[in-house]
Amino acid sequence: MPYTFDRSKALFERANRSIAAGVNSGIRKMEAPVPLYFTRGSGPNLWDVDNNHYLDFQLGQGALLYGHAPAGMAEAIGAQARLGTHWAAQCELEVEVAERIQQMIPSAELVRFNNSATEVVLSAFRLARAHTGRKLILRFEGHYHGWSDEGLVGFANPADKWGDDENPARLHPSKGVIPEVLDQFVVARWNDLAHLRRRVDQYRGQLAAIVFEPVLCNTCCLEPVPGLMAAIRELCDRDGMLMISDETITGFRFGAACAQGYYGFKPDLTVLGKAVGGGTPFAALAGTKAAMAKILSGEAVHAGTLNANPLCLAASKWSLDQILALGKAHPAGIQKMGERLMAGLGVLARENAIPLRPQGPGLIFHAVMLKPGATEGPIKDYRDYVRRHDAPRWAHLRRCLLEGGVRAIERGLWSISLAHTEADIDEALRRATGAFRRHAAEWQAPA
């Protein structure tokens, strides 16, 4: 029996009378048939107010690398809550967390804490400008760096305005943005080395930094082509720019040394969010001593009342200890499960003649749904994704999956947690079998 959502629907209706548009982050409205209201989670399991059970691969937009409500973390937070919830001052925990990050990530010679990765990105941009005395930041089309004015330039460029391949436009998806903010950025296409070199040369001497998601997870799931990270490093060294790796999603998911360890590169600054706090509002800026110099000297301001909040620190310390304890077993364990899930979804797609092509390194992957007539083969960048991915058809399949008890990220991303087991993957595929059949029977392309 497909799930029903009467209580979620009633709560959403009620919420619309007190919460603007009913949700507290715009993207949550994407969940169909209604934004869901949850009551509890445990490991890979999640229950909503209608008592529907989900095997969860949405995982709090990927933050819950350790699964829902891990028992040890609850104890760590609870113990800290009894001692104090907030001091806006120092405690030993913050040093312990900083030392763990330092131990795990070679480029993290120093750290600073914030409450969201959006803030950390802003700190990194400010630091890069202070460091170089230059204004421009080079970023890639389709990469997401938080929801601020500066974080979203070039993220969702519409096809009719995105400019030619050589000069991607600097557009912002939100109204209300200071127009001059757009002038602070240069947008390049992802995964095209020759284009990147030309773009950097065009603005040589004016660029403070190159920022990127090492695996582009916010548009499809696009690993860097061989040589891309080395080319960014080389260009940054050549021109005195800072290399900023936004590891909000990849951090600790790709191993203790994050994506930079997995792919073998050393950035100047790293943005950490999501898994670093295990689902609490916690984020960190990590970097080399040289890149952090303007914070050390006090010339670049970095502040925040709730920075290094002890509840978040307790959760972070517990989380990082899980990664440390796994040693070399991580990320291979979750990667194996993710690859099996991708393969299983691929088989179901073939059996039901659905053009679904899971893409990514397994630890995280994207359910690419090809448009009718689209060419086969991996997606390579943002434009390719917009041209070939059939978002409405994926949304229909996602809804069938949700109503069958499997929950992926709304726009198509799937994350595996350390709490998932092989049995959970089997069960997810068993549930997906019905969802794929239903989708194949019901799907009608819009006229």
Catalog residues that contact ligand PLP under the rule CB under 6 A: 61, 116-118, 121, 144-146, 213, 218, 246, 248-249, 273, 283
77 vs 221 by CB, closer to ligand PLP = 221
Q: Where are the alpha helices (DSSP H) in 217-257?
A: 228-239
139 vs 145 by CB, closer to ligand PLP = 145
277 vs 338 by CB, closer to ligand PLP = 277
Closest contact distance (angstroms) between CB of 25 and ligand PLP is 8
Backbone phi, then psi, for 296, in 5-degree steps? -60, -40
C-alpha span between 274 and 287 (Å, rounded):
18
Closest contact distance (angstroms) between CB of 53 and ligand PLP is 26
Q: Where are the alpha helices (DSSP H) in 115-181?
A: 117-132
C-alpha span between 250 and 283 (Å, rounded):
13
Interacting residues of 186 by C-beta distance below 8 A, sequence separation 6+: 136, 137, 138, 139, 170, 199, 202, 203, 207
117 vs 367 by CB, closer to ligand PLP = 117
From residue 269, how far is each of 16, 117, 144, 443 by CA, in Å? 40, 13, 17, 45
C-alpha span between 383 and 157 (Å, rounded):
9
Closest contact distance (angstroms) between CB of 218 and ligand PLP is 5
Closest contact distance (angstroms) between CB of 146 and ligand PLP is 4
Q: Are 30 and 244 in contact (CB under 8 A)?
A: no
11 vs 211 by CB, closer to ligand PLP = 211
140 vs 436 by CB, closer to ligand PLP = 140
Rg, C-alpha atoms of the chain: 22
Closest contact distance (angstroms) between CB of 269 and ligand PLP is 13
Q: Are 130 and 294 in contact (CB under 8 A)?
A: yes
Closest contact distance (angstroms) between CB of 421 and ligand PLP is 26
